[in-house]
Amino acid sequence: MTRIRVPDELAATQLKYNGEAGRAFITALPARTADFLDHWNLRVDGPAMHGVTALVLPVVRADDTPAALKLQLLDAESEGEPTALRLWNGNHAVRLLDHDPTTGTLLLERLDHTRMLSHHPDAHEATQVIADLLAHLTSVPAPPGIRTLGDIATRMLNETPQALRHLPAAPETRTLLQDCASALREVAPDPGDRLLHWDLHDENVLAAHRAPWLAIDPKPLAGDPGFDLWPALDNRFDPDDITWRFEALTATLSLDRERARAWTLARVLQNALWTIKDGDPLNTQNLELAHRLRHLTNKKPRSAGS
């Protein structure tokens, strides 16, 4: 029976973000990996890889097809992943080969992990790649059962007053985050119904033989595509490039730019609320992004159907 060693970094992040549930996941991971290698008749084909929350093993199936075994903690963010991947069916996203609904374990097509979009030398071209992927991925209506941006927006607006009261920051920072909440309040009644990736940054885009670039690791939401723009603005952050990237993204996705601006400010607020909850300093890069977008225009967002 193949036994794997859990990377120390993965164990540490699971414990940090998921507490005892993360500890239990890490403890069970070697046996779970061995079980799925046997269950799906896989053999390991290289060293293990990991992100913040998942272990990924390159494997080969019984018919010699390369694949990737992804083992992760099943939670609100990961539970919709197989649903989204099945719906996209390999169209601009990694193809799902099999999955176990009880544990959230996935068997995926093998992409080239050595060729991430983050390695692309041209930041503008990389932004356009993400824009093109999002234009296709978010064209699909979200299926029933996917968590909704409307629920998330409501929680954010409910949490903001308490979070800002205890924020040890300069008054202008508090005002900036209040403006983000105001922008969210404008668009929250019409949260959208598209299938969102939510986390399409340039390390979640890999090259493949069958396509130049494919999206991986979605954290699916049902909502407005404007909520999906923030990672492409944050990648290789350049404050002087924000306007160009924002215009390129909104143009490619054919978005109303005022609504997209509001939903992007909502993403900044979401990140800030998480940071405040964890007791960490606010991300100055995020604050600068909000500052630049806040002054991009003062027009009131139109409804999604206008």
Q: How far apart are CA 231 and CA 84, in angstroms?
A: 19
β pairing state of 66-72 and 43-44: unpaired
CA distances from 108 to 70, 94, 249 (A): 7, 7, 28
Tokens for 255, please give them.
Answer: 């978005």
Q: How far apart are CA 182 and CA 189, in angstroms?
A: 12
- Write the burial class of residue 170 (CB in 10 Å: 0-12 exposed, 13-18 middle, 19+ buried): exposed
CB-based contact 40:98 (threshold 8 Å)? yes
Q: What residue type is assigned to position 306 of the chain?
A: S
Helix (H, G, I), strand (E, B) or coil at 249: helix
CB-based contact 57:36 (threshold 8 Å)? no
CA distances from 41 to 44, 138, 273 (A): 10, 34, 43
Q: Which one of the listed residues 112, 199, 217, 238 is annotated catalytic?
A: 199
Q: Is 199 one of the annotated active-site residues of the chain?
A: yes
Tokens for 116, please give them.
Answer: 């991430």
Q: What residue type is assigned to position 93 of the chain?
A: A
Catalytic residues: 199
